[in-house]
Amino acid sequence: MVERNTQIPAPRFRFDPWSAGAVLISILVLVPIVSVLWLALNPAENVWPHLIHTTLPRYLENTGILMGAVALLSAAVGTGAAWLITMYRFPLSRWLEWLLLLPLAIPAYIGAYALVDFLEYAGPVQTGLRGLFGWHSARDYWFPEIRSRGAAVLVLSAALYPYVYLLTRAAFREQSGGCYEVARALGAGAWGRFLRVGLPLARPAIAAGSAIVMMETVNDFGVVEYFAVQTLTTGIFSVWLEGGNAGGAAQIATVILVVILMLMGLEKASRRKMKFFNPSRHSRPVAQIRLVGLRGVLAMLLCILPFAFGFLLPVGVITSHAIGASDGWLAPGLTRALVNTLWVGGASAGLTVLAALFLVYGVRLSERALPRLLLPVTTIGYAAPGAVLAVGLLIPMAAADHVLADTVEGVFGIDIGLVMTGSAFAVVYAYCVRFFAIAQGAADSAMGRITPSLPMAARSLGRTARGTLLSVYLPLIRGSVGTALLLVFVDCMKELPATLLLRPFGFNTLATRVYEKASLENLGEAAPAALLVIGVGLIAVLLLARANR
């Protein structure tokens, strides 16, 4: 009797290009973060003890104070404005609902330049005061110091409060109107309803918005450098560019990463045990209360103030300089900076969205665990400041550039120079990593809204995975893809720290041109570039407002 072998042969390894591509994209996004950690642990010259005993405490103190103060002020302004807009009707309330979002179009460093120009000794405010009261010099009166930590808090809060406002307004709108009706029936006044009902229910949204504000505060370089406030980000520039110590810069960058990860952990922990549910599927919306007379005017003024300070003031000052110095539009370098901005931002946005689509679709197709584990980790790039990514990219990329150049010259006798660090390649790479989370989130949410039966039907009719993506998914999510392209492009236009550190010699974008001219107190030549940045930013904000109706 012959014994039959019933053992099933082990399946052969089958190469899955979608899974492999998803893993490769995830690795490319994580390379700068891993590189920073490696450089910090293996510095050529360990200046960590020197940093701890000299500048690091000052960097940490200033960064901590800025983060806390900006988060508190932004949360107060954003939450208060969202409460007034959602719960009450008053003059201009329908317009202010969207106007309060416009400061998102103004990069914080442009707001800093405008504030100093408006309030400095030769500015219109102090000039008007001297003329009104007959003062002749600065010794005749007291005026607060403009370039100070307090001014940096005001400028950053005016630019960042819309993050809290947008999330908190959505949270207030999703709440049931019955909760407030019950509170009013029990005798709770306006403050009581806000403190006992609205604020606790909106706390997760406020915490999420405040966390974004703090991360953007850590990332800022233009404002703190202009106001001479030494933070962790300015420390990277000082240690690396002035001290020539890349290892020390990486160690400071690691401190920033730890701070960011702590912020993300605290934000998630604060919401972990807080769950809120609507009492029914058909809960009544909030019934707005009409404010008339003095109360209506006061509510209107409270909402106009952050909009005026965060948008009208910077736009007014920059526009006046652009009109007064019309030659700035013809200044050499502006056209080149515009072209550089368009192609670098466009290339970065296109590559970022394509990579995000491939990653999200590949993870959905993959049956392996690794791509699914790496997907949420790739969002850390958005939390990492641009200066941190620059440290993580430039050092290993420069080493790879030299190896490549030496190899090509040794084999072919051709000197190709520095291909990556000698061009805008490093800038594009940094932009892609920095804003990958925006494109990934848009692609993931858009694909998640498509019913699974559609791609399944396409596959059953013989479509390949690639064909299903092109013929089913892309036509249905083209709106979300377009939004992601625009948002990534606008963020690339405004990014300053990574561009300053990674750009090749003589390469300017609109953001770096504004920074260079304003740093030299030449706001007339900086104004045209600043207006171009603001104009493109306005398009993105209007699109965002339309999506959040």
110/316 Cα distance (integer angstroms): 12
Instruction: Establish if 413 belongs to a structural domain.
Output: yes
Per-residue b or e along 104-141, where b marks 16 or more CB atoms closer than 10 Å to that residue's CB: bbbbbbbbbbbbbbbbbeeeeebeeebeeeeeeeeeee
252/257 Cα distance (integer angstroms): 9
- Indicate the SS3 state at residue 22: helix
HEC profile of 501-538: HHCCCCCCCHHHHHHHHHHCCCHHHHHHHHHHHHHHHH
Instruction: Establish if 416 belongs to a structural domain.
Output: yes
Instruction: Establish if 69 belongs to a structural domain.
Output: no
Whether the CB-CB separation of 384 and 520 falls below 8 Å is answered with: no
Over residues 125-181, the pLDDT tens digits come to 999 989 888 888 888 888 888 889 999 999 999 999 998 998 888 888 877 666 666
Query: How many domains is the chain built from?
Result: 1
Q: Mean pLDDT: which of 137-141, 278-282, 382-386 is highest?
A: 137-141
Query: What pLDDT is stored for residue 10 in this prediction?
Result: 45
Query: What pLDDT is stored for residue 215 in this prediction?
Result: 86
In this prediction the pTM is 0.84
What CATH number is associated with residue 429? Answer: 1.10.3720.10
Kindly compute the dihedral angle of the four CA atoms of residues 183, 185, 189, 190, in this order, to the nearest 10 degrees.
60
Which helix (H) or strand (E) segment holds residue 29: the answer is helix 17-41
Q: Which residues, other chains included, contact 20 with Cβ-Cβ below 8 Å and sequence gap of 6+? A: none
Residue 533 predicted with pLDDT over 60: yes
- Name the average pLDDT for the chain: 83
Q: Which residues, other chains included, contact 437 with Cβ-Cβ below 8 Å and sequence gap of 6+? A: 378, 379, 380, 381, 382, 383
From residue 506, give the alpha-carbon distance in Å to each of 110, 340, 503: 22, 11, 8
Angle among Cα 172, 177, 178 to the nearest 5 degrees reads 135
Which helix (H) or strand (E) segment holds residue 339: the answer is helix 334-365
Instruction: Establish if 189 belongs to a structural domain.
Output: no
DSSP state of 277: -
Closest CA to 477 of 303, 295, 353: 353
Mean pLDDT of 11-30: 77
Rg of the chain over Cα atoms, rounded to whole angstroms, equals 26
Over residues 255-271, the pLDDT tens digits come to 888 888 787 777 666 65
Query: What pLDDT is stored for residue 363 in this prediction?
Result: 86
Query: What pLDDT is stored for residue 464 in this prediction?
Result: 84
Closest CA to 207 of 285, 269, 136, 283: 269
Q: Which residues, other chains included, contact 311 with Cβ-Cβ below 8 Å and sequence gap of 6+? A: 99, 102, 103, 105, 106
- Indicate the SS3 state at residue 89: strand
Q: Which residue type is seen at 14?
A: R
Instruction: Establish if 474 belongs to a structural domain.
Output: yes
208/193 Cα distance (integer angstroms): 22
Q: Give the domain extent around 483.
A: 334-507
Instruction: Establish if 354 belongs to a structural domain.
Output: yes
Residue 102 predicted with pLDDT over 60: yes
Helices marked H in 413-452: 425-434, 436-448
Instruction: Establish if 183 belongs to a structural domain.
Output: no
Instruction: Establish if 499 belongs to a structural domain.
Output: yes
Residue 222 predicted with pLDDT over 50: yes
Question: Which residue is it, tokens 């479509």?
Answer: 463
79 is written with which tokens?
């939450």
DSSP state of 289: E
Q: Within 10 Å of residue 296's Cβ, how many Cβ atoms?
A: 17
47 is written with which tokens?
């200046």
25/354 Cα distance (integer angstroms): 11
283/265 Cα distance (integer angstroms): 33
Mean pLDDT of 44-52: 81
